[in-house]
Amino acid sequence: MWPGVALSLEIMETIYSKKSKFQQIDLYQTRHHGKMLVLDGIIQLTEFDEFTYQEMMTHLPLFSHPDPKSVLVIGGGDGGVLREIGRHDVVEKIDFCEIDEAVIAVSKKFLPELGCGFDDSRVNVHIGDGNAFIQKKINAYDVIIVDSSDPIGPGEVLFKKAFYEGLKNALKPGGIIATQGESIFMHQEWVGTLAGITRELFLVQAYANIYVPTYPGGNIGICMGSLGPKLVTPARQICQSIQDQLKYYTPQMHKAAFVLPYFAEKLLKES
């Protein structure tokens, strides 16, 4: 996806390497970044910095919603987003739709600090395509998180307007979506497309930018849409016992994530 661009990480050992029904799954032990999960040659996460993305992808929408009882995660086969949702006692039901059960198995076996997310009794795992799953859901969820890979291979369908229309129909009144929004540096076309779709479909739209050293550009976006609640400031306050478990998210970082460089502001306005 990034011709001419690569990140170099020294690999000490290949822990797992197999082609599933959907993609090549590789898990490496790196010299500096701990274990690293790679799908079709694209870094999904490293133990070094996965907390940045998992925390913000989860806590931005969940703290923006005043009372998130039912939550859906699409993608996220590593379990990291589920781990973060598990910190919210207010959540009563967590549906989870992942297309590739091999990713779940690899994470549970080799990445227990992420795979632990599946241990939560509120989680209902569905194996299948997230787009097919969402088209069957109406008025079902307070928050939907799309922790997808990139718009190639099985993830491609999760970057289309029809999928976002399905997300909107699956929300309860006042519902919120948060999706993997690519990079304002490396994927400006995709950022513009996703922002344009969410602005057209949702009453409130916002785009957050976070630091993730191992993602292309060293950052990634979170594209958000809301049927009511504002997104740029938390609707619920985080209690100290949860805050002490985190490394990235704070109420201040919540607000700061939506402050974008001028070129990105213009990109989103023109989208």
In the complex, the smallest distance separating the C-beta of residue 94 from ligand SAM, rounded to whole angstroms, is: 15
What would the 3-class secondary structure string for 67-90 be?
Answer: CCCEEEEEECCCCHHHHHHCCCCC
Least distance in angstroms from the C-beta of 23 to ligand SAM: 6
Do residues 102 and 20 touch, judged by C-beta distance below 8 A?
yes
Alpha-carbon distance 271 to 265, whole Å?
A: 10
Residue 147 designated active-site: yes
- Inter-axis angle of helices 188-201 and 262-270, nearest 10: 50
Q: How far is the CB of 158 from ligand SAM (least distance, A)?
A: 5
- Residue 68 or 76: the one with the smaller Cβ distance to ligand SAM is 76
User: Measuring CA to CA, how many Å separate 150 from each of 29, 158, 182, 195?
Assistant: 23, 9, 8, 16
Q: Who contacts 162 (Cβ-Cβ below 8 Å, separation ≥6)?
A: 131
Which of the residues 49, 95, 147, 150 is marked catalytic?
147
Apex 117 CA angle, 61 and 177, nearest 5: 20
Nearer to ligand SAM, 155 or 175 (CB): 155
Minimum separation from the CB atom of position 72 to ligand SAM (A): 11
Binding site for ligand SAM (CB under 6 A): 39, 44-45, 53, 74-78, 97-100, 103, 129-131, 147-149, 154-155, 157-158, 180
Active-site positions read 147
